[in-house]
Structure 1
Amino acid sequence: MRIHRPLADAVVGTLQEIFLNKRQADRAIEYVLKSNRKWGSRDRGFIAENTYEIVRWWRMLHFVIEAPESLNKYHFWQAFGAWQLLKAKHANSDEALFRLPDWVEFSKVNTNRIFSRYEEAKNIRKIIESVPDWLDALGEAELGTEKWNKEIHALNQQAPVILRVNSLKSNREHVADLLGDEDINADYNNELPDGLILEGRPSVFKTSMFKDGFFEVQDAASQLVAPMLDVKAGMRVIDACAGAGGKTLHIAALMENKGRIIAMDVEERKLQELQKRARRAGAMNLETRLIEPKTIKRLQESADRLLLDVPCSGLGVIRRNPDAKWKLTPEFIENLRTIQYTILTQYSSMLKKGGKMVFATCSLLPSESEDHVRRFLAEQGEQWELLEERRTSPAEDGYDGFYMACLQRK
């Protein structure tokens, strides 16, 4: 394996943007990929994959290169070099002879020391699984040692690319055939009527199928949320924390564009993105509303179905967003818990009697999920009935870590 200097420069520069300038990883990578139109798909793949993986394993790499708390460009080059060496060590025998280029940035990289430190790291879960101290302690406290060991290991594996075919425009068999024509292999998931699991990590956003709204990229766990609402054509549905609208669009497809969906959020920019996605998807039965002080009161007892996909830590999806674990704090999660329960207790008033509400999070933590539902039922159980709940597990079923519960208002 040969490392090309411009690509290594790009990775190191992107890492500095993420860790020193606090840019989101996906945006930092997108920016650098747009900076050089001459890079081919292999070059772009090298930059994106290496950046994400180094971010994912940052604490472990920080440990093996024995970096100080205060970092400079030299330490990111060291981390890049250590990652190449560790990859080669775990690769096929042909890669075992890999050596770093004779560049000044690698002049102080001690291969034997890196391998020795890596062996030490294997005995310390928070280092080998590359998580902050507080997050490792929190995960163990809420899930137990055995389950946390499995989940944090699974969350460090690369997530598959899964599509939700837009049934307003096509079906998964047709889309699978069209993808095959572009040498993109797709398989079915029997639990997901509209789901396709892709082989490898092809760039699907450039395909005409995506631009024409034939599919969205959406994990299997996320695809389970909208069906739990049990929507019917002609209903009035509120998606109260819609964001950019992945689940909103799924609801529109399930309703066959009949009825009315009100997609709400506190951020205008997310609703604007949802409007763009809705046009592409051909979802015609939805409107967007910015949540303002009187919005919830005005919509009291107006919805047949209500989705509360509340803001959360995102710990169930960090395999897709590995930089999140370096930005989260205990205080932030504690504040989120308050927001989550406030949304559940206040927004639930928008549901009609006899209607169904789904409360969902993409967190592994019961304190952000099951605990809220238990408390809600304890306090308002005479008005509500729990019909169904489910938790998905990266370790057990390979899905992102979601919790979802369907409650009916009596």
Structure 2
Amino acid sequence: MTPTARLAASIDLLAAMEAAPRKPADAVANSFFRERRYIGGGDRRAISGLVWDIMRNWRKLGWWLEQNGGTASPRMLAGAQLVFDRTPMEKLASIYGGGRFAAGLLSESEQAVLNALIGRELECADMPRAVRLEVPDWLLPRLEETFGTDLEAEIKAMAEPASLDLRINMLRTTRSEAMHALAREGLHAEETKLSPWGLRLEGRQPVTASKPFRDGLVEIQDEGSQLVAAMAGVDPGMRVLDYCAGAGGKTLALAMMMENKGHIVACDVSVVRLEGAVKRLRRAGVHNVERHLLTEGDKWAKRRAASFDRVLVDAPCSGTGTWRRNPDARFRTTQVDLEELLVKQAAIMDRAAALVKPGGRMIYATCSLLKAENAGQVEQFVARNPDFHLVASGSPTLPESLREMSMISLTPARDETDGFFAAVLERREQKD
């Protein structure tokens, strides 16, 4: 594709995302490229690169455009990003261009707005703090409550592209063997700092097309997510419930820790997500997992009350910890959404707690950075359920610095992972 056609495609993709504000940007992009199979891999990366840069700078670009009499339309956001990338105005005007596969020539007024941005820095002291940090106004106080003086560093880390983390599958390989297998495919990984099963690659790499992935030696999973699974401290032979299993990422890690022994039930309210786990379980060689679809009025939970050694609750949340991967998510969640999530999380915790046997543990986890969804939920749960109390995980697979903690919070700046929270709650033994 020519630079003109790439720019036009980038603007079209931005417009598609704008037309589906409740749909994740990566899902919109996947559909966009699937419908345009003529766009090659290099062109897809170039188009996606520009679009994701725009999403990471969405509020700042919009602020600059509005300050200079423009509007934050897809074509102007793309132009502004290119100006801040130091694209000369003559080249910018030419790649807008005219013709069938072009975005359309810049009007005089559009050129004037973009000309006013030349030589400027993207961040400006006059910007409101929420604009400069690329967060919604309503969310800024909650993030300040979480991070305090570390907020700027954490937000900066969340604006950086995420690494590609893998979890080795110890049912099939060792970390050293997996690294060598990846290297033979031209994929050079390094060991992660915190997870004993983790490998890290920089940038976007074609891992899913590699033999180690197809053979089930590795799974794509952020290091923080691996540590959440480790917090469960499961052993072979246990009876374990993954209550919000989704497509089974943490289920796979639990099965690996249990050496395929014992029994895991993976539950979810989505049949699509549970069906998506089947291929992953088969590829990993996991055979101690049963799947169960949670439905309204289901008697399944009542019949299995107080029967599980471990119950992992990876609760639906705001996803603020995943902003490195999903920069659009910061503007898709509203204050009303958060309030609804808090109610849902509390209800899920109470339902899941009924399935924990005396002496067993519930691990509550989110990929959120917000206190209200994390420590706040745990504190309220313990107040409602005095037969549960916080305990240290003690899991030998965790780094020593985390083993004696009952709650962990992982952040991009401090830990170089996605943002994750996990707490270990033990049900007290019944007294005779």
The answer as to 2:131 corresponding to 1:127 is yes
The aligned counterpart of 2:334 is: 329
Q: CA deviation at 1:356?
A: 1.8
1:132-171 paired onto structure 2 within 5 Å = 132-140=136-144, 142-143=145-146, 145-171=148-174
Q: After superposing the two structures, state which structure 1 stretch, 292-301 or 391-400, moved more.
A: 292-301
The aligned counterpart of 2:399 is: none
The aligned counterpart of 1:55 is: 55
Q: After superposing the two structures, state which structure 1 stretch, 192-201 or 29-38, moved more.
A: 29-38
The aligned counterpart of 1:370 is: 375
SS at match of 1:354: strand
> What is the CA–CA distance in structure 1 between the aligned matches of 2:202 and 2:122, rounded to whole Å?
31
1:329-408 paired onto structure 2 within 5 Å = 329-387=334-392, 388-408=406-426
Q: CA deviation at 1:40?
A: 3.6
Q: After superposing the two structures, state which structure 1 stretch, 367-376 or 36-45, moved more.
A: 36-45
Q: CA deviation at 1:189?
A: 1.5
CA contact (8 A) 2:387 2:427 kept: no
Q: CA deviation at 1:396?
A: 1.3
> What is the CA–CA distance in structure 2 between the aligned matches of 1:68 and 1:353, rounded to whole Å?
64
> What is the CA–CA distance in structure 2 between the aligned matches of 1:264 and 1:339, rounded to whole Å?
16
Q: How does the TM-score come out when normalised to structure 2?
A: 0.86
**Which of 175, 191, 203 is the aligned partner of 1:188?**
191
The aligned counterpart of 1:92 is: none
What whole-Å deviation, never above 9, does each CA across 1:42-101 have from its counterpart, x for those lacking one? 2121122222221222111112222999979xx21111121122123xxxxxx7898414
Q: After superposing the two structures, state which structure 1 stretch, 103-112 or 314-323, moved more.
A: 103-112
CA contact (8 A) 1:85 1:98 kept: no
Q: How does the TM-score come out when normalised to structure 1?
A: 0.90
**Which of 211, 214, 218 is the aligned partner of 1:211?**
214
1:226-265 paired onto structure 2 within 5 Å = 226-265=229-268
CA contact (8 A) 1:77 1:105 kept: no
| Consecutive unaligned residues in structure 1, runs of 5 or more | 89-94
1:240 maps to amino acid: Y
> What is the CA–CA distance in structure 1 between the aligned matches of 2:214 and 2:76, rounded to whole Å?
40
> What is the CA–CA distance in structure 2 between the aligned matches of 1:403 and 1:119, rounded to whole Å?
31
> What is the CA–CA distance in structure 2 between the aligned matches of 1:349 and 1:26, rounded to whole Å?
36
Distance change in 2, residues 1:256/1:78 (3 Å):
same
CA contact (8 A) 1:241 1:265 kept: yes
| Consecutive unaligned residues in structure 2, runs of 5 or more | 98-103, 393-405
SS at match of 1:283: coil
Question: How many residues were matched structurally?
Answer: 400
Q: Once superposed, what is the RMSD of the aligned Cα atoms?
A: 2.5
> What is the CA–CA distance in structure 2 between the aligned matches of 1:71 and 1:45, rounded to whole Å?
27
CA contact (8 A) 1:57 1:129 kept: no
> What is the CA–CA distance in structure 1 between the aligned matches of 2:167 and 2:213, rounded to whole Å?
11
> What is the CA–CA distance in structure 1 between the aligned matches of 2:38 and 2:362, rounded to whole Å?
50
CA contact (8 A) 1:249 1:278 kept: yes
Distance change in 2, residues 1:64/1:70 (3 Å):
closer
SS at match of 1:114: coil
The answer as to 2:45 corresponding to 1:45 is yes
1:283 maps to amino acid: V
What whole-Å deviation, never above 9, does each CA across 1:104-159 have from its counterpart, x for those lacking one? 4444234442244845366432112222211223322x225423333222211111
1:83 maps to amino acid: Q
CA contact (8 A) 2:79 2:114 kept: no
